Amino acid sequence: MDRINDPTAEADKFGAGKDGFTEGDPGLVDRTIVRAAWLDGVQEEIVRVIEGAGLTPSSADLGQLLKSVRKSLRFAVCAISGTSVAASTNFTMTLLAQSGGFSVASNQLTPPADGYYLVLFFGRVLTADTSNPANVTLTVDNGSGDDMIYVDYRPTASASDPVTVSMATISLLLASEVVRVLHVSGSNQDIQAGSGRLVVLGVSTS
């Protein structure tokens, strides 16, 4: 669509080349005439968003444009948690909130296939061995064995207190891929606990 471009529009109202409407001034300036072509453009811009989201335009529902925008935007938030004293511990993935058809099963997050997604992970692991904190590794893959997120923490010296390792990373999820958290591992059987949030943001392409 375009801004109003009728000869009766107020020129440059919103900046150079950005005309707008005017109420006019009797006897001096005409009011802006709103013609069918401009109204059709506004109508079709809105209606095509609604139809593109799979909805049928209806005068009985004044929230269809909002519903359409929300339908095209997708997100999932998962809690990642685990506690172990072993050298390797499998984490549990729990879906906390979502919009748009995500599912979680067997610690694997599956998004709708018709979209593009960014995967963000924020987490921390507490190492319990006060004399030799662990080498800590977190792996998130795409279900096909390819690492999407790989964080490796290797302390260079011993510590007198437990060490909290914070991680933040981002990756791109391609079509038909999944998000699978594999494990957090430590070198000295000293992983005490871990937690994090896995956030997936996307937009529908259908």
Residue 92 lies in a domain: yes
Say which residue, 156 or 119, is predicted with more confidence: 119
The chain-wide mean pLDDT, for the chain, equals 76
Q: pLDDT tens for residues 69-91?
A: 877 888 888 887 766 545 555 56
Distance CA 104, CA 94 (A): 7
Say which residue, 101 or 84, is predicted with more confidence: 101
pLDDT band at 44 (very low <50, low <70, confident <90, very high): very high
Q: What is the 3-state secondary structure (H, E, C) of the chain?
A: CCCCCCCCCECCCCCCCCCECCCCECCCECCCCCCHHHHHHHHHHHHHHHHHCCCCCCCCCCCHHHHHHHHHEEEEEEEEEEECCCCEECCEEEEEEEECCCEEECCEEECCCCEEEEEEEEEEEEECCCCCCCCEEEEEECCCCCEEEEEEECCCCCCCCCEEEEEEEEEEECCCCCEEEEEEECCCCCEEEEEEEEEEEEEECC
The domain containing residue 145 runs over which residues?
Answer: 73-204
Residue 97 lies in a domain: yes
Residue 21 lies in a domain: no
Q: pLDDT tens for residues 132-155?
A: 555 556 666 777 767 676 666 665
Residue 118 lies in a domain: yes
- Domain CATH code at residue 136: 2.60.120.40
Residue 89 lies in a domain: yes
Say which residue, 203 or 65, is predicted with more confidence: 65
The reported pLDDT for the residue numbered 132 is 57
Indicate the pTM of the whole model.
0.58
Q: What is the number of structural domains in the chain?
A: 1
Residue 52 lies in a domain: no
Residue 128 confidence (pLDDT) above 90: no
pLDDT band at 189 (very low <50, low <70, confident <90, very high): very low
Residue 102 lies in a domain: yes
Q: pLDDT tens for residues 170-188?
A: 677 666 677 776 555 555 4
Say which residue, 121 or 50, is predicted with more confidence: 50
Residue 15 lies in a domain: no
The reported pLDDT for the residue numbered 63 is 94
